[in-house]
Amino acid sequence: MSNSIRLGCIADDFTGASDAASFLVKGGMRVLLVNGIPGNEIDITGFDAIVVALKTRTMETAPAVKESLDGAEWLKKQGAGQLYFKYCSTFDSTPKGNIGPVADAVLEKYHIPYTILCPALPVNKRTIKDGILYVNGVPLHESPMKNHPLTPMWDSDIAVLMKSQSCYPCMKVSRDMLGKTKSEVQKEIRRFGSGREHFYLIPDFTEEKDAVRIVEMFGKLPFLTGGSGIMKQLGIYHTGGNGSDKIAEPQTKGRGLVLAGSCSSATLAQIRCYLNRGGRAVKIEPAKLLEKTQDVRSLWLEIESSQNETILLYSSDEAEEVKKVQQAGRERISELLEQTTAELAYLAVQAGYRRIIVAGGETSGAVTQRLGFDAYQICDSVAPGVPVMIPLGNPSIRLVLKSGNFGQEDFFWRALEMTEQKGR
């Protein structure tokens, strides 16, 4: 097999994968996004990069590590010359993982001395200074992420977060250090790494232009980790700025369905905006699902009774309400909500809905798995890191899958408008 795949990326959830793919496309790469590790041979002809969407962010650590290594090995077999582990720009993880354990395992498996931890995404106001991760100018653990129901963040220092997850130490690479010559930086790295089998670098990253310097300095490493902040520049690096500019049309005919499962402050604001503008909506009530007074059938009847061309279906709620419901069992509630939402998405597609917008990484993963699509072409983005996607198995459909934290307040309206084909 010829080594046409320059970069292979494993992402810890589906929206993270589409985020990564969108920025690689902006960098000129032709990107194939696959949902899970393919069980059969797939045609990778003409692609520069492959992004594999996993569902490992909140999985138990041992299976998350195994699945990530299996994904990395599959990418290697496709000829990937470089590996990238993509996680959220807010470093979403529990105290025990899974960012640290997965990164450790890849370093160990492929005998790689070190890599970078680079979650920053300045365009979405996620920045790193002196190893501290900021969200909208606020330290991570003081941001709304402190109340995340699955991955509440207890610190903002990436080295501290890694200490409880990883076997290896971290070196902070300041802006001043990044301003030195490459040989000077390498000398400092060798000094830190002396006597250490593996370690991590945390580069400062406060402005989009910092991506150029970070890629200049570390773009040749066989393994990189982070968010999507450097991925456009990495695409430019791999294509020499001469990449493909062929982008598919994001519009299609058919009704639109918005599905929101994220409880992030951004998604809650987007729901409020949708409702305030008079959008039709149906709320999924976890307590009612448990009591069986609400189910897929009753929810579908509510959707179908609407005369609107578009409708929002949401289970998102404020953190305190989520905690109350989770008293019945967090895993049980999460699984029930994901299964219900995914089944409603399936019924919608069967009924002729062609524009499906989903908010929330876990929700997106469940929806795409139920729809059965396993490979996608990437179109333009509704917001940074949130592209319109065309399933290769059904080119009449447009999917928009966003991380809970991404997008403007009017994101749902923007996505519906951008995917709607009018007057043709």
Q: What is the CA radius of gyration of the chain?
A: 21
Average pLDDT of the chain is: 90
The predicted pLDDT at position 1 comes to 39
- Which residues does 384 contact at the CB level (< 8 Å), separation at least 6? 22, 23, 121, 123, 124, 406
Sorting pLDDT into bands at 50, 70 and 90, what band is 2? very low
Q: What is the pLDDT of residue 325?
A: 61
Are 250 and 418 a contacting pair, CB within 8 Å? yes
User: Which segment, 102-111, 121-130, 366-375, is predicted with the most confidence on average?
Assistant: 102-111
Q: Which residue has the higher pLDDT, 424 or 358?
A: 358
Distance CA 227, CA 406 (A): 13
What is the percent of the chain with per-residue pLDDT over 70, rounded to a whole number? 94
pTM of the model: 0.79
Mind giving me the DSSP string for 215-267? HHHHTT-SEEEE-STTHHHHHHHHHTT----------B-S-EEEEE---SHHH
Q: What's the pLDDT tens digit per position in 256-282?
A: 999 998 888 899 999 999 999 999 999
Q: Quick one: pLDDT at residue 341?
A: 94
Instruction: Flag whether pLDDT at 378 surpasses 90.
Output: no
More confident residue, 1 or 385: 385
Better-scored residue on pLDDT, 365 or 395: 395
Q: State the chain's maximal CA–CA distance in angstroms.
A: 68
Mean pLDDT over 308-318 rounds to: 86
DSSP state of 384: T
| Range 239-247 average pLDDT | 71
